[in-house]
Amino acid sequence: MKRIALICLLLPAACGSHTTLSMGQGQAGDNVARAALSGGSPDVALNVSNAILAEAPDNVPALLSKGDALSLLRRYDEAEVSYAHALKDDDKSVEAQIGLGRLSLRTNARQAQVLFLGALQHDPSNKVALNDLGIAYDLQGDHLKAQESYRRALGSDPAMHAAEVNLALSMALNGHAPEAVQMLQPLASEPGAPRRLRHDLAAALAMSGDKEGAAKILSADMTPDQVQRTLLAYREFNQ
């Protein structure tokens, strides 16, 4: 189940420029920070957000961008402070609750669940909160509730691959690995499919009893010894 959580929590953070920018307090500054986050430069987003907050310490969009940047940089304690500050200034901030929930997934899935449910009270169809709520349920072993949440996320956005992959993995963990394989195969066969997704398919194959098929996928990225150890880990997931 920890493997599912990694989908949301351990996204790779690209290294960007360390240029310090003076952006002022307005929307334009936050747009720059958001663009830096989207472009894989959380360090630039952090510098921009800090520049805004130096002039306006309670600027909620800047606090949220700072929290997102710190999360991507794996400075989790600092990210929690930033999200909490944003939530204090705007107790209906869906983004702050989601940010705090994602941090909580690392150590306290129950607390994360409460935060995601709080976000959904303000935005019931928020696909990100629904997907992350599913992860919180999976981490607690409540796979049926997790799958319901992933399906609700897909109802909000049928093209949300993260929810589709999480749904498949949850089904595999809940004894429905063959169905999970059918869901993951088209996604993993797409041109440029990421390694993580191919390995998710391998996990579902292994749980369905197709160790040979799983090993074939894993062998493209691993040594024979690594393949065997990974297959053993997949088997433990299903116990």
Residue pLDDT tens, the chain, 239 long: 344 433 333 222 222 333 223 334 456 678 999 999 999 999 999 999 999 999 999 999 999 999 999 999 999 999 999 999 999 999 999 999 999 999 999 999 999 999 999 999 999 999 999 999 999 999 999 999 999 999 999 999 999 999 999 999 999 999 999 999 999 999 998 888 899 999 999 999 999 999 999 999 999 999 999 999 999 888 776 65
Is residue 14, in this structure, part of any structural domain at all?
Answer: no
CA distance 151 to 76: 29
Residue 87 lies in a domain: yes
pLDDT score at 237: 66
Query: Is 6 part of a structural domain of the chain?
Result: no
User: Does 189 reside within a domain?
Assistant: yes
Q: How many domains are contained in the chain? A: 3
Residue 13 lies in a domain: no
CATH number at residue 78: 1.25.40.10
By residue range, what is the domain housing residue 227?
175-239
